[in-house]
Structure 1
């Protein structure tokens, strides 16, 4: 049996999952929360197991330690770590009656802490039991990275070790799958709900791995031959599909949030350029040079986007004395005539106001006193809505509607007809 496909699949899935786990650990370090830590551990544990299950690393561990098939114990303990994290995750994802249905984490009160400690203690107590049963069934020779279960299942201690491991894994998969399916129904449509459903589908798919392995173990223990394909082909296929679903479920919402932050960061650039050209003191630093550096921006997008929004707000306040009230009135009239959505109406008004202010400032216009300065919409927007408002304003800077609003200001006054 060629080991190359198993190396490619296990190393590929393990490496990709560890990349997701690293991002979760990074997010946890920035904003520590118990739920996010459990998520990171729930990804890191099976990721490590997949890496060690690759025949390449599996054989390397046996060679370095001199203990045959020792990697099996590490692989299975990694999955037990996932099982423990998944069971705890099911607890913190289960919303109490007093909790709003759209919230993600249950509050970590004394009652929940006790339940978490109890579940974690059960898994912690079973780790030495599993290790003892594994060692009692040894020594394990030859090295069998793909057929350990069916080769050594006839040994009673090893069969018990395998059955206990599969039972813990199955319990965790069913528990997290059940909770995720129920929790997804409480969430609004979006990437978070899709991600949680993917986790549920992945967990329930991985149950096929458990069923195949248990069948292969029972048949091998009974002395029946020909069941290796359940353990070496069908079971790993279910495990790989389940791992992909779970990893995508954890990564999907985070990836979507990252993409939205990057989109907003790029979308705000025209509006930021407008206020920056008016007063360069508003920004901590100037535009990136060369320009392609911003197009390749991948890190710290939340901080960069928040800073860009704050600098735009500062610029709006700075430009307020030069805003042309006539441009604001024309923008409101045009928005009413074309029946713009209230959010779009506000964005068009602000875009017209800022463009008129920049034009007036450049032309040396006299700033208006405070009582004559028009009050613009959006200044009192909630933090959750402010960014979306500014992105809309930036979009309207290139809108034909804005050209219509500002066209009268640039056109020369009409010549009155001659008297007959």
Structure 2
């Protein structure tokens, strides 16, 4: 059997998973939390296992240490690390009975973390036990990166090592799969729900790997020949597909959030440009070029939040130049267009800001405080504020805004 497909497949999967793990670790360092750290370890552990399982690296490890097939122990311990992380995730993602029906629950309580520590203590004991059984069953010659399980399954200590590994892995996969399906059922439609379901489906798919391995190892131990292909062929396929689904499940919601932040950051640019032209003191720095903004990928949450704050400051600065007649014209256009409350508010603010900038540029005097109109959206909750400003930005140069400005100009002439 050629090693090339396994080298390519394992290295690609392991590298891609480590990219996701690195992003989770970066997020954990910026906002430390035990839950996020567990997620990062749940991705990094199997990612490392796939890299070490690639025959090219498997051989390098054995030659560097001088211990035959040592990479198998390291791979299986890394997968056991995933099992431990998955068991902890299953605990912290299961809401207490009194909150079983809620969509989003608080961080796991102290009692849950105490249970998690007890389970981790079990893994802390079983990990060294697996290592001891592996070493007891050796030495392992020749090097068998793809056929270790069926080659040495007749050795009692090695067979027990393999059974312990597969049992822990199966328990973790079934546990996290069960919890994720229940978790997803409580979530609204969206990327988070899709991601949780992908983790569940990935865990169930990876159970095929465990089943194939158990049948192949059992057959070898019983002296039945001809089933090695389950361990060396079909089993790795289940493992690879399961790993891809689980990694995608962890990465999907984060990727969608990144794209949403980037979309919002760029969508706010026209609105930010408008208030910046009205008062350049509002911004901490001059606007970046369009090309630079298109390539922006770092600190998008901070940049978007700052942009929103500067727009809010600009809105307050322009408020004395907002003409009530413009607001009335915006209401009339919104009525004719049948806009809902959110879009009506966005149209009103877009029309008000454009007219205020024009009035300021024309040298119109500001209105007294008691005569200033109150624009919608100023009291929006933080979670809604950004969405409101994005809607305003998209309405800024739209046809309804132009229609409202034209109607207002006709009234004031």
Same-fold status (TM-score > 0.5): yes
Q: Secondary structure at the match of 2:189?
A: coil
In structure 2, relative to structure 1, the CA distance for the partners of 1:303 and 1:413 (3 Å cut) is closer
Verify: 1:198 aligned to 2:198, yes or no.
yes
Q: Secondary structure at the match of 1:98?
A: helix
CA contact (8 A) 2:329 2:407 kept: no
Verify: 1:75 aligned to 2:86, yes or no.
no
Q: How far apart, CA to CA, are the structure 2 residues paired with 1:159 and 1:302? A: 51
Greater Cα shift, 161-170 or 219-228 = 219-228
CA contact (8 A) 1:267 1:391 kept: yes
1:54 alignment counterpart: 54
2:322 alignment counterpart: 323
1:18 alignment counterpart: 18
**Alignment of structure 1 residues 279-290 onto 2, 5 Å:** 279-289=279-289
**Alignment of structure 1 residues 101-116 onto 2, 5 Å:** 101-103=102-104, 106-109=107-110, 111-116=111-116
1:217 alignment counterpart: 217
Q: How far apart, CA to CA, are the structure 2 residues paired with 1:322 and 1:115? A: 61
CA contact (8 A) 1:35 1:105 kept: no
CA contact (8 A) 2:329 2:408 kept: no
2:84 alignment counterpart: 84
Verify: 1:297 aligned to 2:296, yes or no.
yes
1:310 alignment counterpart: 309
Q: Shift of the alpha carbon at 1:182?
A: 0.9
Q: How far apart, CA to CA, are the structure 1 residues paired with 2:284 and 2:3? A: 55
The superposition leaves residues 328-377 of structure 1 with CA deviations (integer Å, 9 ceiling, x where unpaired) of 11001211222111100000100011001100010000011001111110
2:167 alignment counterpart: 167
In structure 2, relative to structure 1, the CA distance for the partners of 1:179 and 1:412 (3 Å cut) is closer
**Alignment of structure 1 residues 209-358 onto 2, 5 Å:** 209-289=209-289, 291-358=290-357
Q: Secondary structure at the match of 1:294?
A: helix
Q: Secondary structure at the match of 1:366?
A: coil
2:389 alignment counterpart: 390
1:418 alignment counterpart: none
CA contact (8 A) 2:196 2:249 kept: yes
Q: Shift of the alpha carbon at 1:186?
A: 1.0
CA contact (8 A) 1:262 1:301 kept: yes
- 5+ long unaligned stretches in structure 1: 415-420
2:37 alignment counterpart: 37
Q: Please, what TM-score do these two structures have when normalized by structure 2?
A: 0.98
Greater Cα shift, 366-375 or 98-107 = 98-107
The superposition leaves residues 94-125 of structure 1 with CA deviations (integer Å, 9 ceiling, x where unpaired) of 0013336222554332x212201110000110
In structure 2, relative to structure 1, the CA distance for the partners of 1:413 and 1:369 (3 Å cut) is closer
1:359 alignment counterpart: 358
Q: How far apart, CA to CA, are the structure 1 residues paired with 2:52 and 2:389? A: 48
Q: How far apart, CA to CA, are the structure 2 residues paired with 1:247 and 1:108? A: 26
CA contact (8 A) 1:191 1:252 kept: yes
Q: How far apart, CA to CA, are the structure 2 residues paired with 1:27 and 1:412? A: 54
Q: Shift of the alpha carbon at 1:189?
A: 1.1
CA contact (8 A) 1:52 1:58 kept: yes
Q: Shift of the alpha carbon at 1:392?
A: 0.5
Q: Shift of the alpha carbon at 1:409?
A: 4.8
In structure 2, relative to structure 1, the CA distance for the partners of 1:404 and 1:226 (3 Å cut) is same
In structure 2, relative to structure 1, the CA distance for the partners of 1:114 and 1:367 (3 Å cut) is same
CA contact (8 A) 2:325 2:411 kept: no
Q: How far apart, CA to CA, are the structure 1 residues paired with 2:223 and 2:331? A: 84
**Equivalent pairs, count:** 412
Q: How far apart, CA to CA, are the structure 1 residues paired with 2:411 and 2:157? A: 95
Q: How far apart, CA to CA, are the structure 1 residues paired with 2:367 and 2:129? A: 80
- 5+ long unaligned stretches in structure 2: none
Q: Shift of the alpha carbon at 1:226?
A: 1.5
CA contact (8 A) 2:322 2:353 kept: yes
CA contact (8 A) 1:204 1:242 kept: yes
Q: How far apart, CA to CA, are the structure 1 residues paired with 2:226 and 2:64? A: 32
